[in-house]
């Protein structure tokens, strides 16, 4: 029976949960399994490592610490921006997630931590930073013929 090795293209479903069982993401809600090249760095390293050795149809549960997932919360990862950067009809609310573009032109996600009449303080940490995460992974399919080398030759 085929097992996953580094460089395989695989299809999988996953369910991400907090330790209390609350689900924060479920690939089945998107109907199609996630397709990923193992070893490409597209997934969390510990998640990719858990795929190695799995067989088609196998279900595996893993537990990740914040260091294995999205890292600890960085208290310095905040940014203060002018309220004028937001649309005039924007409803400001503490804890509200916002999207924007950094001065370097990169897409950023943040959460409003406070605001005044003129400024908004944004928390730039990943929303899952500082959290223990559990994943249930179901390996749907392994494509042994697809490796890093064949993909990079395209």
- pLDDT tier, 146 (very low <50, low <70, confident <90, very high otherwise): low
Residue 87: alpha-carbon gap to chain centroid: 28
Helix segments in the chain, DSSP class H: 45-51, 148-152
Helix, strand counts (H, E) of the chain: 2, 9
Determine which of 75-79, 114-118, 127-131, 146-150 has the lowest per-residue pLDDT on average: 146-150
Mean pLDDT of the chain: 92
Question: CATH class for domain 9-70+129-149?
Answer: alpha beta
Specify the DSSP class assigned to residue 33: P
Domain 78-123 has CATH 3.40.800.10: no
Residue 147 in contact with residue 129, Cβ under 8 Å?
A: no
Q: pLDDT for 41-70, tens place per residue?
A: 999 999 999 999 999 999 999 999 999 999
pTM confidence score = 0.80
Please give the pLDDT value at position 98.
95
Give the residue extent of every domain in the chain.
9-70+129-149, 78-123
Contacts of 36 (CB under 8 A, 6+ apart): 9, 10, 12, 42, 43
What pLDDT sits at residue 31? Answer: 85
Residue pair 137/25 in contact by the 8 Å Cβ criterion: no
Q: Where are the alpha helices (DSSP H) in 52-152?
A: 148-152
């Amino acid at each position: 029976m085929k097992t996953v090795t580094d460089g395989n293209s695989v299809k999988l479903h996953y369910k991400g949960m907090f330790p209390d069982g609350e689900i924060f993401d479920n690939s089945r809600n998107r109907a199609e399994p996630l397709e990923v090249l193992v070893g490409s760095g597209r997934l969390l390293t510990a998640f990719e490592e858990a795929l190695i050795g799995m067989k088609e149809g196998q279900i595996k549960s893993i537990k990740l610490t914040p260091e294995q997932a999205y890292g600890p919360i960085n208290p310095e990862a905040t940014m203060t921006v002018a309220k004028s950067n937001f649309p005039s009809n924007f409803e400001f609310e503490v804890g509200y997630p916002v999207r924007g573009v950094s001065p370097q032109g990169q897409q950023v996600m943040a959460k409003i931590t406070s605001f005044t009449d003129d400024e908004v303080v944004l928390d730039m940490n990943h929303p899952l930073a500082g959290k223990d995460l559990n994943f249930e992974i179901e390996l749907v399919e392994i494509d042994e013929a697809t490796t890093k080398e064949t993909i990079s030759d395209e």
